[in-house]
Structure 1
Amino acid sequence: MNHLEAIATFVEVVNCGSFSQAAERLSVSKSHVSRQISQLENHLDALLLNRTTRKVSLTDVGQSFYPTCREMLTSLREAEQAIIEQQHTVRGLLTVSVAGQFGEDYVVPATLKFMAKYPQVTVNLDFSNRLVDLVAEGYDLAIRAGRLKDSSLIARRIASRKLYICASPAYLEQHGQPEDLTQLRPHNCLVGTLNTWRFLDRGQHLDLRVEGNWRSNNGRALVLAALSGLGLVQLPSFYLEKHIQAGELVKVLEPYYPTDTGTWAVYPSNRHMSHKVRLFINFLAEEFTQLALPNPASGN
């Protein structure tokens, strides 16, 4: 027996004064209502209702039991309604993991606009290059870039991302400009977080190991090294666009730029997405579309 269903049926019978009307209100058969009441009475070993051909009335035991049941169901419905309203009211703490220049230049301004629209939201933006454990560390979501490998996360693409390979005119004048991937090996490659760069070659994406005498997990540090003429760099386009426009950096190997990367909002698959998280992700995606970003990303 489902005790909650039986109690709810009992309260409805009392409210309606009839098994038939209660069955109609509950959208079940009269026999189902009768069976629920009988099972509840058997469980309690007490008669709750007096049954006649004309009406149903409470016994003495039923009269003492009914108010408690009615109040319990009212409290339960109020609690359910509170949860529903909470899920559809944009308020509370939003904890977001983000990294890099994309976070500083785009996520921060967009988040401030979101908070202006929803002033009851409190935001904690945590900047870190490490791969956080969203579940264990209590994050609502993370903004991540590139190709996602963690299948335990649900992801939504919120912005495009394109990787450029660039070098300064001075470096290219001294060392030559690579025309294909076979000419990449002699060059000094400024290495970021990974030891590999991503390419598209004859319709297939591949990762090639690169080497150089400069490594940093900071995109700006890599840009400065490239501007100084130290070597080639592969970075998301938004790091490099203004320097390309200024003639300070030159794109190389353009036919080999990968097309399978993006910027994502990710959240745990075992956690129901709250209304504020869903709204925030939608807001970011809309903001980045309106900004017409130059294929941004959240980091190197």
Structure 2
Amino acid sequence: MLKDLEVFVAVVEAGNFSTAARELDVAVSSVTRRIDGLEAELGRPLFRRGTRRLVLTDAGQHFLGTARNVLLELTEARDFLSSSDAEPRGVLTIAAPSAFGRRHIAPAVRSFLMKYPHMKVDLQLSDKVIDLSVERVDLAIRIGRLTDGDLVATRLAPLRRLVCAAPAYLEKAGRPGTLRELVDHECLTVSSKPTPPGWWTFPGLNRGAPLPVSGRLQCDDTETLLDAAVAGLGVVHLASWLVGDCLHEGRLVSLFSSDDGNAVKDAPAIYAVRLPGRSHVTRARLFLEHIRGHIGDPPYWDRPLPRCA
């Protein structure tokens, strides 16, 4: 099958069977048999024949991308195995959301560059979701649920949101005993409408809709909400990767001992994604191995909190 794919791509690039046969150093009849067999296996024609130059059918055009991706993946895998003892080098382009990238990807990049002195990294931090079919990015970090089935995704960590408040706030306002009591507290909320998926949402409460919490501060920047919570202005519902340090330092307190609302099927997570055929696979895999070791399992920001006396 792989040889058939090589012949198919060669014919497309050459424009006819005879030129492809010369480039492959085989007989024209061999090329014809390969294409005929491939079309028979797929159950549809890949070329419209009868013209001076072969023209791809719609099925052929669609199949061309898949064939090129498979061959590229195989070439990258062979290169990786043949050069596994060589010093990795080249440029790797990584895109990540701003806050997560600054806190967790940038430190991993620094240690990656120290480990591989001949590698270069172009780290792009932005909250804009990059279209990998347009932008030349080798690896992108996505947080949430994946919607693009064409991407190759590696799950790095679960996405857990925790209800937290500062000790100063709890001393003044009291600690809510149940999730339902959050509606009676000063809550720091995201300003975008509708409320993003997962925010202030807990299984078994409010029929799956966000709790109708409110407060004096709304903001579209999660780090600003975090700073306000640490200052004692109210309760937040933020990702554990964002609040982990504050919890361990005692600047925030997690209000509910269990991970209410996160242990659900198909829960959102943190992924590294790439587009087959558009990334430097060997370099991407090298960084994936490094970042997974850097984050750990469970991730370092979800390490157990010290027990309170």
Interval of TM-score (by shorter of Structure 1 and Structure 2)? 0.5 to 0.7
Q: 1 CA distance for matches of 2:25 and 2:277?
A: 36
Would you say 1:170 and 2:168 are equivalent positions? yes
Say which SS state the counterpart of residue 111 (structure 2) adopts.
helix
Partner of 1:258: 262
Q: 1 CA distance for matches of 2:24 and 2:276?
A: 36
What residue ranges of structure 1 are gaps of 5+ in the alignment? Answer: 12-32, 40-79
Partner of 1:142: 140
Q: Which has the larger radius of gyration?
A: 1
Say which SS state the counterpart of residue 229 (structure 2) adopts.
helix
Would you say 1:107 and 2:101 are equivalent positions? no
Q: 2 CA distance for matches of 1:116 and 1:163?
A: 32
Residues 128 and 88 of structure 1: CA distance in aligned 2, closer, same or farther (over 3 Å) = farther
CA RMSD of aligned residues (A): 4.0
Say which SS state the counterpart of residue 175 (structure 2) adopts.
coil
Given candidates 184, 196, 199, the residue that maps to 1:197 is 199
Q: How does 1:32-111 map to 2 (within 5 A)?
A: 85=79, 91-111=89-109
Is the Cα–Cα contact under 8 Å of residues 188 and 230 in structure 1 kept in the other structure?
yes
Q: By how many angstroms is 1:221 displaced?
A: 1.9
Q: By how many angstroms is 1:178 displaced?
A: 2.7
Is the Cα–Cα contact under 8 Å of residues 168 and 227 in structure 1 kept in the other structure?
yes
Which deviations, in whole Å up to 9, do the C-alpha atoms of 1:103-153 show, x marking residues without a partner? 223312221232233333321111112222222222222112233334443
Q: 2 CA distance for matches of 1:8 and 1:136?
A: 31
Partner of 2:45: none
AA paired with 1:181?
A: L
Which shifted more, 94-103 or 124-133?
94-103
AA paired with 1:225?
A: A
Q: 2 CA distance for matches of 1:168 and 1:34?
A: 76
Q: By how many angstroms is 1:282 displaced?
A: 2.0
Q: By how many angstroms is 1:224 displaced?
A: 1.6
Q: 2 CA distance for matches of 1:117 and 1:89?
A: 17
Which deviations, in whole Å up to 9, do the C-alpha atoms of 1:155-191 show, x marking residues without a partner? 2112344221111233234333333333222322212
Say which SS state the counterpart of residue 301 (structure 2) adopts.
coil
Say which SS state the counterpart of residue 185 (structure 1) adopts.
helix
Residues 288 and 203 of structure 1: CA distance in aligned 2, closer, same or farther (over 3 Å) = farther
Partner of 2:242: 239
Q: 2 CA distance for matches of 1:115 and 1:211?
A: 44
Identity %: 29
Residues 268 and 162 of structure 1: CA distance in aligned 2, closer, same or farther (over 3 Å) = same
Say which SS state the counterpart of residue 142 (structure 1) adopts.
strand
Given candidates 267, 277, 287, the residue that maps to 1:280 is 287
Q: 2 CA distance for matches of 1:179 and 1:266?
A: 40
Say which SS state the counterpart of residue 165 (structure 1) adopts.
strand
What residue ranges of structure 2 are gaps of 5+ in the alignment? Answer: 1-15, 34-73, 304-309
Q: By how many angstroms is 1:83 displaced?
A: 11
Is the Cα–Cα contact under 8 Å of residues 199 and 207 in structure 1 kept in the other structure?
yes
Residues 275 and 36 of structure 1: CA distance in aligned 2, closer, same or farther (over 3 Å) = closer
Task: Count residues with an aligned counterpart.
Answer: 234
Residues 191 and 81 of structure 1: CA distance in aligned 2, closer, same or farther (over 3 Å) = closer
Partner of 2:117: 119
Residues 100 and 204 of structure 1: CA distance in aligned 2, closer, same or farther (over 3 Å) = farther
Partner of 1:208: 210
Q: By how many angstroms is 1:240 displaced?
A: 2.6
Q: By how many angstroms is 1:36 displaced?
A: 5.7
Is the Cα–Cα contact under 8 Å of residues 160 and 295 in structure 1 kept in the other structure?
no
Higher strand share: 1
Partner of 2:62: none
Q: 2 CA distance for matches of 1:234 and 1:88?
A: 48
Q: By how many angstroms is 1:271 displaced?
A: 3.7
Which deviations, in whole Å up to 9, do the C-alpha atoms of 1:265-299 show, x marking residues without a partner? 01235646621112211221122228951239xxx
Residues 213 and 279 of structure 1: CA distance in aligned 2, closer, same or farther (over 3 Å) = same
AA paired with 1:3?
A: S
Is the Cα–Cα contact under 8 Å of residues 164 and 235 in structure 2 kept in the other structure?
yes
AA paired with 2:178?
A: D
